[in-house]
Amino acid sequence: MSRPKGRRLHPRYSVDAPIELGGREGPALLRDLSMSGLSCVSKIAFEDMTVLEITMKLPSPDGPVPFKAGGAVVRCEETEPGKHMVAVFFTQMDPANRKVLGEFIERQGE
């Protein structure tokens, strides 16, 4: 069952930043981010349920902060030739990275 966009568990915040998906060739471009997942634009298509290691640097007042989590692809749609909108649900995140993400999201609501 899919959840309507207006009924997401966690609010999403727009972020334009490079992101690495599982060490695949070249970075993808992060589009939005929440406590439960993200969406990005990638040159590479991913099969649904592909498990990925996600790494990026989140902007902060003190400079970029490294962030790392595990995730699974829940949707991948080609939006134009060579561009894929990829939605990832976080499946693993240690407490330190959960704190980094939580602090980033708190700043977005300010």
- Between 17 and 94, the higher pLDDT residue: 94
pTM assigned to the model: 0.84
Read out DSSP for 36-58? SEEEEEESS---TT-EEEEEEEE
Angle formed at CA 98 by CA 105 and CA 22, multiple of 5 degrees: 100
- Between 109 and 93, the higher pLDDT residue: 93
Q: Could you read off the pLDDT of 54-83 as tens digits, one per residue?
A: 999 998 889 999 999 999 999 999 999 999
